[in-house]
Chains A and B, each alone.
Chain A
Amino acid sequence: NAGVTQTPKFQVLKTGQSMTLQCAQDMNHEYMSWYRQDPGMGLRLIHYSVGAGITDQGEVPNGYNVSRSTTEDFPLRLLSAAPSQTSVYFCASSYSAGRNSPLHFGNGTRLTVT
């Protein structure tokens, strides 16, 4: 009964380094998404996917890349980290973005860029 699994839980990067935040779900959900959570800003959508091989940009996509090669996995890549990317990142999935299906969230990755 894993649900949505995110790794790592914590990460510290130096400016300019790259890394990948992993996200996997075992619920056979079509829809997966990445959010960042910043104080006073709520959750902002970075990228989303409505199925394997399909991705699209959300509200704040700059500096991030995604891919969806399988239904289960939706990694988020930071190619050259910047201090402005210090945040808590959440992966979320749903049976479908529409059709009134709620999102299921992972426990988050807290990223600090120095």
Chain B
Amino acid sequence: GNSVTQMEGPVTLSEEAFLTINCTYTATGYPSLFWYVQYPGEGLQLLLKATKADDKGSNKGFEATYRKETTSFHLEKGSVQVSDSAVYFCALSFPTGNQFYFGTGTSLTVIP
């Protein structure tokens, strides 16, 4: 079946630290991969996406590379800010599918 596995949280970092949130997937086919972010009290927002192997998605200083050989899409940021505190979700979908598959989310807290 199709599924997404994220690293367990919560993650607490100091401001300007390096961030990695691991995401691996299982898929029958060639999915598109997404990272969504959820700020407190809000719905999820698209952070970045990649649609094929070796693509790199980037936005707001965050990056993730679609690694087909390791079935991974790890989220990275070189220097986190307090405003990056949120829950991050990895997800996949298929070009011809009707469903999105989400990981369980990773909570990030950045302290000054």
A binds B: yes
Q: Please give the residue numbers on chain A whose beta carbons come within 8 Å of chain B beta carbons, in ascending order.
A: 4, 31, 33, 35, 40-43, 45, 48, 50, 56, 58, 90, 92, 97-100, 102-108
Q: What are 17 A-B contacts defined by CB distance under 8 Å?
A: A33-B100, A42-B104, A58-B99, A92-B43, A97-B93, A97-B97, A97-B98, A98-B93, A98-B94, A98-B97, A98-B98, A102-B34, A103-B36, A105-B36, A105-B43, A105-B45, A108-B43
**Residues of B near any A CB (own CB < 8 A):** 32, 34, 36, 41-46, 49, 51, 89, 93-100, 102-105
Excluding A43-B44, A108-B42, 17 further A-B contacts by CB distance (< 8 Å) are: A31-B98, A33-B100, A42-B103, A42-B105, A58-B99, A97-B93, A97-B98, A98-B97, A98-B98, A99-B95, A100-B95, A102-B34, A103-B46, A104-B46, A105-B44, A106-B43, A107-B42
Across the interface, name the chain B residue whose C-beta is closest to A3: B43
Residues of A within 8 A of B104 (CB): 40-42
Given contacts A40-B104, A42-B105, contact A90 B43 (CB under 8 A): yes
Determine the distance from Cα of A32 to Cα of B97 in the docked complex, in whole angstroms.
13
A-B contact count (CB 8 A): 61
| Residue pair A107, B93 in contact (C-beta under 8 Å) | no
Note all chain B residues with C-beta closer than 8 A to A35.
102
* B46:A107 contact, CB within 8 angstroms: no
Contact A103 B100 (CB under 8 A): yes
Q: Judging by beta carbons under 8 Å apart, are A43 and B43 in contact?
A: no
A60 → chain B closest CB, angstroms: 12
- With contact pairs A42-B89, A100-B49, A102-B49 given, residues A48 and B98 touching in the complex (Cβ less than 8 Å): yes
Known A-B contacts A40-B104, A42-B89, A43-B102; A102 and B94 likewise in contact (beta carbons under 8 Å): no
In the complex, A98 Cα to B77 Cα: how many Å? 28
